[in-house]
């Protein structure tokens, strides 16, 4: 019987002798690889923190103490050890475990987190709010990319003033999803190297003593100055300047040493930071060799063969590839085009642009606020900046979209990747609110393309219109190239296009759901129900005249979108029709419900939330049948 099978709770783990823990680590890794071969998920990040997670649960009781994961995609070992070992086989499946911490699953989880930088803030709040008599510890587990975010520094600065009982564990694997970037990453690299302080100490002495005649005397008299210089180079000095006592760096895969030092950290009080060095993908040779490729994996299990894994592929064509091809083509003829991403160059397609135009590509790290403000500055200097950022992650830069872009009418282009349902990553990653938050500001052109060629036209329009502009697109490209639809109309700012003419009802699709709508229309036409189908193209400026015409001609005008029903395309249509004193009561919205959409495959979610071709056709059919039933 495997040791892991006897661990139903961290209290079981703490009954084991330390020498048995490496075997537990091995078994956890085996289980993660086995399950992810079937379900897909975040592989390299979880494998890298197995020993650290074991050590944390061995030393602390996190039913009493509090453990907050930053991002939390590295929480698979934590889930396995906290009573979810058997359920782990359901991870990222519909109605199964979430791919991130989730307080609905376990008292060991406190947030449904999948963004970076906030663990220190929330752990600090828990520490300040705790009853001092309970002796409760707050632990924040933060990655080396996350700790460079602005909000993390804000939390460090505040915690340093409060000196609350918070332990920050810096999990330093030199990676975010892609390679960590920036001056702070370089600082951590110097700490890892270990020679910075001693080399500087010898160097300062040699430099001063080399001064002719007076060097020896100056060397002795400048003792305090030298100490100040050397302190600035001492490992962890930058952290300690913000408040925490710094410890480390320590080997994050040495369980015995980790348990000893965490035990010491537990006995201490105040604001501490433990710097732990780990290897992303540890224990899996391929993941160690290429942690970027193996950060996320999709299932690949041929029948009757051992489980294997491949890096995540979401279909033969995905929208990040379309973005990359389009940006490179424009970059070839436009030397002012600059592309910006926030620590997601591979997932957004920016890496391909980087290889062709390294001087015009900017990965600013997990700093979306800075990315947008930086883009604004580029535009003010006469460049054409494009921010390629996930829909949900751009929410962090809401204030910069307002101030630095919209308010000042600066022509920054936003390419909103993963707009709509992304699948197994779930509620934290589903881009179902971007229309609402982008269209709340005046002057931003907001578009969504039906397919590749329309996206390319929109990309050029966005760069050339002289206004802030946004293009939203989902993760996968789901058009049907084998189908013959009417030729597209020229893309003109604010104008929709009519694809089919029918007399029974109208249906207006925005972006990604145009082709499912066309398929639904074909199904209904086979039943004798003929629809006028419109490709909206724009939510701002909206083709208001087209909408007025439709509600004047048809009793039922359906709007279809992959966005929350609140604040999205249908809301924009209703608002404009009310202002135009037109028949807004004839709009029939088909959209996602006013809730956070859970994890599951894209197909499952489209079906469950009535956005599949079959469901769209059924909604139209039932509505028209109801009309017929009540007709005199």
Residues noted as catalytic: 280, 368, 396
> What residues are paired with 166 via a beta bridge?
138, 271
Q: Is 485 exposed, middle or buried (0-12, 13-18, 19+ CB in 10 A)?
A: middle
Which residue is associated with the tokens 């930088």? 117
Give, for 372, the enclosing helix (H) or strand (E). helix 368-380
CA pair distance 471, 391, nearest whole angstrom: 10
Could you tell me the end-to-end alpha-carbon distance of the chain, in angstroms, rounded to an integer? 73
Separation between Cα atoms, residue 313 and residue 427, nearest integer Å? 20
Count Cα neighbours of 115 within 13 Å in the Cβ-side half-sphere: 24
Cα–Cα nearest to 513, from 483, 542, 536: 536
Apex 201 CA angle, 197 and 205, nearest 5: 165
Residues in the chain: 632
* H-helix or E-strand spanning residue 331: helix 319-333
DSSP string, 415-447: EEETBB--STTGGGT-B-SHHHHHTTSTT-EEE
CB 410 within 8 A of CB 404: yes
DSSP β-bridge partners for residue 445: 469
Q: Please choose, from the candidates 578, 568, 512, 567, the residue with its C-alpha nearest in 3D space to the C-alpha of residue 544.
A: 578
Contact 43, 294 (CB under 8 A): yes
Q: 363 has which bridge partners?
A: 341
Which residues is 340 bridged to in the sheet? 362, 387
Q: How far apart are CA 258 and CA 52, in angstroms?
A: 7
Q: How many whole angstroms separate alpha carbon 611 and alpha carbon 162?
A: 50
Is the preceding omega at residue 249 within 30 degrees of 0, hence cis? yes
Q: How far apart are CA 582 and CA 506, in angstroms?
A: 16
Torsion of CA 502, 507, 508, 511, to 10 degrees: -110
C-alpha angle 625-627-632 in degrees, rounded to nearest 5: 120
Evaluate whether 295 touches 42 at the Cβ level (below 8 Å).
Answer: yes
Helix (H) or strand (E) holding 505: strand 505-509
């Amino acid at each position: 019987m495997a040791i892991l099978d006897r661990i139903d709770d961290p209290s079981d783990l703490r009954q084991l002798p330390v020498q048995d823990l490496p075997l537990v680590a091995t078994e956890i890794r085996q289980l993660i690889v086995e399950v992810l071969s079937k379900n897909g998920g975040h592989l390299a990040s979880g494998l890298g923190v197995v020993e650290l997670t074991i050590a944390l649960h061995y030393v602390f009781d996190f039913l009493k103490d509090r453990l907050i994961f930053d991002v939390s995609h590295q929480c698979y070992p934590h889930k396995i050890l906290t009573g979810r070992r058997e359920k782990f086989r359901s991870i990222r499946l519909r109605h199964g475990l979430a791919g991130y911490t989730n307080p609905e699953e376990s008292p060991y989880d406190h947030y449904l987190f999948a963004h970076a930088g906030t663990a220190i803030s929330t752990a600090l709040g828990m520490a300040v709010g705790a009853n001092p008599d309970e002796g409760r510890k707050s632990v924040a587990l933060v990655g080396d990319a996350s700790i460079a975010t602005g909000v993390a520094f804000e939390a460090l600065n505040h915690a340093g003033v409060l000196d609350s009982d918070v332990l920050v564990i810096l999990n330093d694997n030199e990676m975010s999803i892609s390679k960590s970037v920036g001056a702070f990453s370089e600082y951590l690299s110097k700490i890892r190297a270990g020679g910075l302080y001693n080399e500087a100490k010898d160097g300062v002495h040699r430099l001063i003593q080399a001064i002719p005649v007076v060097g020896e005397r100056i060397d002795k008299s400048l003792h305090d100055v030298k100490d100040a210089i050397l302190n600035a180079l001492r490992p962890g000095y930058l952290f300690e300047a913000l408040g925490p006592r710094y410890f480390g760096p320590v080997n994050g895969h040495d369980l015995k040493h980790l348990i000893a030092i965490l035990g010491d950290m537990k006995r201490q009080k105040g604001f501490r930071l433990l710097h732990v060095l780990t290897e992303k993908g540890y224990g899996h040779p391929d993941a160690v060799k290429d942690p970027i490729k193996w950060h996320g994996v999709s299932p690949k299990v041929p029948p009757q063969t051992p489980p294997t894994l491949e890096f995540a592929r979401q279909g033969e064509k995905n929208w990040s590839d379309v973005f990359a091809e389009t940006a490179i083509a424009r970059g070839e003829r436009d030397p002012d085009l600059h592309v910006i991403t926030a620590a997601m160059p591979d997932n957004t397609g920016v890496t391909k642009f980087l290889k062709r135009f390294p001087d015009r590509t900017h990965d600013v790290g997990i700093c979306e606020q800075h990315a947008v403000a930086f883009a604004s500055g580029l535009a003010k200097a006469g460049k054409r900046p494009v921010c390629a950022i996930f829909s949900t992650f751009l929410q962090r830069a809401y204030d910069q979209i307002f101030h630095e872009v919209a308010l000042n009418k600066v022509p920054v282009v936003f390419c909103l990747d993963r707009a709509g349902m992304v699948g197994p990553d779930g509620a934290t990653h589903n881009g179902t609110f971007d229309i609402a938050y982008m269209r709340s500001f005046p002057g931003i052109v907001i578009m969504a393309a039906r397919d590749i060629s329309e996206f390319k036209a929109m990309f050029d329009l966005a760069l050339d219109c002289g206004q802030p502009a946004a293009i939203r697109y989902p993760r996968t490209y789901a058009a049907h190239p084998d189908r013959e639809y009417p030729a597209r109309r020229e893309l003109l700012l604010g104008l929709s296009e009519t694809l089919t003419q029918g007399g029974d009802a109208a249906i207006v699709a925005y972006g990604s759901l145009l082709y499912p709508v066309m398929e639904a229309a074909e199904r209904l036409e086979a039943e004798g129900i003929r629809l006028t189908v419109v490709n909206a193209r724009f939510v701002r400026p909206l083709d208001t005249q087209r909408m007025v015409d439709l509600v004047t001609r048809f009793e039922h005008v359906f709007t279809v979108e992959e966005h929350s029903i609140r604040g999205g395309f249908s809301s924009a249509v209703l608002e404009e029709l009310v202002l135009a004193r037109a028949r807004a009561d004839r709009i029939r919205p088909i959209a996602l419900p006013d809730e956070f959409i859970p994890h599951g495959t894209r197909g499952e979610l489209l079906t469950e939330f009535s956005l599949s071709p079959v469901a769209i056709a059924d909604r139209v059919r039932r509505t028209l049948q109801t009309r017929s039933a009540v007709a005199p």
